Structure 1
Amino acid sequence: MKLKSLLIANAVLLGSFAVQAHAEDEAQLIKQGEYLSRLGDCMACHTVSGKGDYAGGLAIESNLGTIYSTNITPDKEHGIGNYSEQQFSDAVRKGVLPNGSRLYPAMPYPDYAKISDADMHALYVYFMKGVKPSSEQPPKTDLSFPFSQRWGMRFWNWAFTSDKPFQPIGGASEEVNRGAYIVESLGHCGSCHTPRGLGMNEKALDSGDDQFLAGGSLNNWDVPSLRGLPRWSEQEIVDYLQTGRNDKAAVGGEMKSVIEHSSSHMTDADLKAIASYLKFLGGNPALQAYDVKKQQATEAKLTAAKGLSEGERLYIDNCGACHFVTGKGAPGIFPELDQATIVNAKDPSGLIHTILAGAQQPSTEKAPSTLAMPGFAKRLDDDQVAKLATFIRQGWSNNAPAVTKDQVAEVRKTLK
């Protein structure tokens, strides 16, 4: 009798240990999945201010029309609570929903296709057990014909996506390959920084093609190449991704939400891996030869403040206090204008938008202060903004085409 009782007690004890171990494993998976969701920047697209996390409803402007992000909480009626793990994986990596309908590639499944099985499992556990369910019903995406015919995405996927898993780069270090995995899969950096073809497809999906991360266009903004980043050191890349600023630049446009919701939450090791990978890519020559004499001539003229053009006068009156006569700004505070990518972009829309609407850096753990640049839309008319932008694009060592007031007027129409 005593032996039987002892066996029962041992069985109960072993069972409790097994339950505890399972709970600990699940808690670790939830934690891992939460971090992976940050790598994938899921929060930025599936969360609207004032609504629950991942409840969807963000309006994403595209060339096809407005696409609304979906509720990806584990709510069984309005979210993904009824998804099996395979169905979850198919939606994330293939853009196919359980009912067979197709997602638009505003959901970057062409990049997410490279997410490993282990990471996909952790993401599934997190979204099913670590996210609070929300009954929020986002607006439905309703594009005009023929884009409303989602079945056509089957052929788009056949032509422009790949189910090939992530391929490590032969001969590269473990750190570089970790960076490659993040950038090419969860980070989906190519969805903005890789040029797109006639089918609005990314022209390359990995580092095996020189077009990968070679720059593109997003909502009329030139998106810079990330290949090599010759003007930035690895630490400056880490600083930018971690805080939204470094000694040369400050975040603007769509990258602000990436910093705020994704890269500022990454570990130092992963940020260093990303920086190592981008430097490893190379293939991106410097913006232009630095013209010291031209830079010094601009600085001297602004300092003397004599015989100024209207663009130069507008700069002194509106920009000089922060960016200075040198165009160098203040390291880590006010970004450089001399040789800045946004300044020298082929399409000046990004620079024009920043002058009109201003910009604000995100508050992050490593840089909690929020620095803001005021917008000048009410202070300057289209002709003045054009002259100011033209001076900035042609002053110091910059050498970009002039800006017209018609270009400014077009950008002004887009301001909310």
Structure 2
Amino acid sequence: MKKWSLIIIVAAILGLAAAYIIGQILPNMRTSNSNTEVDITDPALIKKGEYVARTADCVACHTTLEGETYAGGLPMLTPLGAIYSTNITPDQETGIGNYSFYDFKNAVKHGVSPDNKALYPAMPYPSYQLMPDEDVAAMYAFFMSDVEPVNQPNLQSELPPVANWRWPLAYWQVLFDPKRDFVPETDNELLTRGQYLVEGPGHCGSCHTDRGIGFQEIALSNADSDEYLSGAVIDGWRAKSIRGEHRGLGTWTTEELNDFFKTGRTDTTAAFGAMAEVVEHSTQYMTDYDINAMSSYLKTLTPAPNKEKALSEKKDITTQKLLDGDYDSRGAILYAEYCQVCHRADGQGVARIFPALDGNSAIYSNKADSVLQITLSGGRMPETEHDRMAFTMPEFSNLSDADVAEVVNYVRNSWTNQAPEINVDDVVKMRAFLAKKPKTSTDIAPDLSIDATEEGAN
């Protein structure tokens, strides 16, 4: 028995050693050499790189609240602990100042660092690998020549031992990030550009596509599956489906999407959470053509599987009751006390100021995570040059768990809205999550903002 135990132990050690050695080799098989010479002083190339970096939304993840731009340190929560974004300023000691273009390209497109280690897939290299080398070269010129160097050491992850080993990530990359090229779905130039931006640098699937057992996106393109962009929960927000069903983008027009990407709001809705940061740091700077390309492409996506293409009609009996002072539930009383002054008795809010609650697909989503989070923690609209003020939603964490559940259920099922009800346990879980979650820029209101009592979203 002892002999067999020893054999098993030795075999296990040898197997682990072999896996480790192979895990050290695998990243080399992903990288690609490059003879491309990048003139990092070329003004036109730098300008192009700045725009490409906007389309890739680099600043949102690599900048902390009140931190130096691109200096990293933003915590990203995982089930096992936080990992932190890195310093991508051209500082030679703590940033990427010593990166060659080859190093930069392999990190961005292939998820491999200069010391041949696999990067965490929080970096959306499965999407960035679709970017042509010319665009990556332009980004390299921008980061090396136009970004201010910041000496700020990178933070170690909070993952526990074993889970923080890097070499197993090489196997993750083999399994879940196969080499692929951009394959247009159509020969229409506008739609092809939109598909590329959504699938590639925009990495929309990173938030809007559900994750599998290995924390991989279950689909990387529409060609893979119609589960692509069908919605997911990330950082406690419900990144809604952006496909064609009713709870997705079925009720949106292309023009509304264009307005939303450019300004972070429409006459009835407003961005919040991570999407507010996308608008504030990325999409508001994109050309009208690129914005229209993304919107037009998204509107071609068919409804997600097993989701209602349309909801049954529901008569609004809420408005008159509120106007009559007929508060027939605890939720109605809470709504009248805390919400009605901004969002009105009819739930329609005020155009471009206080988002509508009735008919807002973020409100009646099957999962109430976003409504719960913004009710408990508040937030603000993105700041853009297109609207004079970024209005805010104050937090209502002072309400009891039972009252939060009551008012959220009331809003999600009043007027014409129809949504599954939540319970007190859902509120408790969200409070516990928020207690651990770090603040981001869109959680903090600027000094000149005006408070609102609820905030809708895309």
* TM-score computed with the length of structure 2 as normaliser: 0.81
Residue 307 of structure 1 and its aligned partner are, at CA, apart by 4.9
1:267 aligns with 2:291: no
Residue 25 of structure 1 and its aligned partner are, at CA, apart by 7.8
Give yes or no for contact 1:113–1:162 (8 Å, CA) kept in 2. Answer: no
1:182 aligns with 2:197: yes
Q: How does 1:323-402 map to 2 (within 5 A)?
A: 323-378=343-398, 380-402=399-421
Residue 413 of structure 1 and its aligned partner are, at CA, apart by 2.7
Q: Which amino acid in structure 1 is aligned with residue 434 of structure 2?
A: L
Residue 300 of structure 1 and its aligned partner are, at CA, apart by 1.7
CA deviation vs aligned residue, 1:370-392 (integer Å, no higher than 9, x gap): 111222212x2111111111111
Q: Which amino acid in structure 2 is aligned with residue 397 of structure 1?
A: T
CA deviation vs aligned residue, 1:318-371 (integer Å, no higher than 9, x gap): 111111121222222222212323322233222112112222112101123111
Q: How does 1:98-247 map to 2 (within 5 A)?
A: 98-171=114-187, 173-208=188-223, 209-228=225-244, 229-247=249-267
Residue 250 of structure 1 and its aligned partner are, at CA, apart by 1.0
Q: How many Å separate the matches in 2 of 1:56 and 1:38?
A: 16
Q: How many Å separate the matches in 2 of 1:125 and 1:24?
A: 4
Give yes or no for contact 2:110–2:125 (8 Å, CA) kept in 1. Answer: yes
- Structure 2 spans left out of the alignment, 5+ residues: 1-37, 436-458
Q: How many Å separate the matches in 2 of 1:345 and 1:289?
A: 12
Report the counterpart of residue 45 of structure 2 in structure 1. Answer: 29
CA deviation vs aligned residue, 1:187-232 (integer Å, no higher than 9, x gap): 0000010111111100111121212111111133322111131111
Q: How many Å separate the matches in 1 of 2:71 and 2:99?
A: 16
Residue 60 of structure 1 and its aligned partner are, at CA, apart by 1.3
Q: Which moved more, 1:279-288 or 1:184-193?
A: 279-288
Q: How many Å separate the matches in 2 of 1:280 and 1:402?
A: 31
CA deviation vs aligned residue, 1:81-130 (integer Å, no higher than 9, x gap): 11111111110111101111111011111111111111011111111112
Q: How many Å separate the matches in 1 of 2:179 and 2:144?
A: 25
Between structures 1 and 2, the one with greater helix share? 1
- Structure 1 spans left out of the alignment, 5+ residues: 1-21
Residue 237 of structure 1 and its aligned partner are, at CA, apart by 0.6
Q: How many Å separate the matches in 1 of 2:414 and 2:294?
A: 33
Give yes or no for contact 1:114–1:163 (8 Å, CA) kept in 2. Answer: no
Report the counterpart of residue 13 of structure 1 in structure 2. Answer: none
Report the counterpart of residue 279 of structure 1 in structure 2. Answer: 299
Report the counterpart of residue 10 of structure 1 in structure 2. Answer: none
Residue 299 of structure 1 and its aligned partner are, at CA, apart by 1.5
Give yes or no for contact 2:40–2:145 (8 Å, CA) kept in 1. Answer: no
Structure 1 runs, 4 residues or longer, greater than 6 Å off: 22-25
Report the counterpart of residue 310 of structure 1 in structure 2. Answer: 330
Q: How many Å separate the matches in 2 of 1:406 and 1:265?
A: 41
Give yes or no for contact 1:38–1:263 (8 Å, CA) kept in 2. Answer: yes
Cα distance change, pair 66–370 in 1 and its aligned pair in 2 (3 A): same
Cα distance change, pair 24–162 in 1 and its aligned pair in 2 (3 A): closer
Report the counterpart of residue 64 of structure 1 in structure 2. Answer: 80
Cα distance change, pair 286–251 in 1 and its aligned pair in 2 (3 A): farther
**3-state SS of 1:303 partner:** helix
Q: How many Å separate the matches in 2 of 1:75 and 1:47?
A: 15
Which residue of 250, 266, 289 corresponds with 2:311?
A: 289
**3-state SS of 2:42 partner:** helix
CA deviation vs aligned residue, 1:120-141 (integer Å, no higher than 9, x gap): 1111111111212121113222
Give yes or no for contact 1:220–1:347 (8 Å, CA) kept in 2. Answer: no
Report the counterpart of residue 407 of structure 1 in structure 2. Answer: 426
**3-state SS of 1:272 partner:** helix
Residue 24 of structure 1 and its aligned partner are, at CA, apart by 11
CA deviation vs aligned residue, 1:283-329 (integer Å, no higher than 9, x gap): 35766435242x2x112211211252111111111111111121222
CA deviation vs aligned residue, 1:131-166 (integer Å, no higher than 9, x gap): 121211132224113321110011111111132121
Report the counterpart of residue 19 of structure 2 in structure 1. Answer: none
Which residue of 61, 81, 102 corresponds with 1:86?
A: 102
Residue 23 of structure 1 and its aligned partner are, at CA, apart by 8.3
Q: Which amino acid in structure 2 is aligned with residue 337 of structure 1?
A: L
Q: Which amino acid in structure 1 is aligned with residue 405 of structure 2?
A: A
Q: Which amino acid in structure 1 is aligned with residue 217 of structure 2?
A: E
Residue 27 of structure 1 and its aligned partner are, at CA, apart by 0.2
**3-state SS of 1:238 partner:** helix
Give yes or no for contact 1:329–1:336 (8 Å, CA) kept in 2. Answer: yes
Give yes or no for contact 2:236–2:430 (8 Å, CA) kept in 1. Answer: no
Larger radius of gyration: 1
Q: How many Å separate the matches in 1 of 2:318 and 2:180?
A: 52
Q: How many Å separate the matches in 1 of 2:70 and 2:222?
A: 31
**Overall identity of the aligned pairs, in %:** 40
**3-state SS of 1:302 partner:** helix
| Residues paired across the two proteins, number | 391
Cα distance change, pair 50–252 in 1 and its aligned pair in 2 (3 A): closer
Give yes or no for contact 2:303–2:309 (8 Å, CA) kept in 1. Answer: no
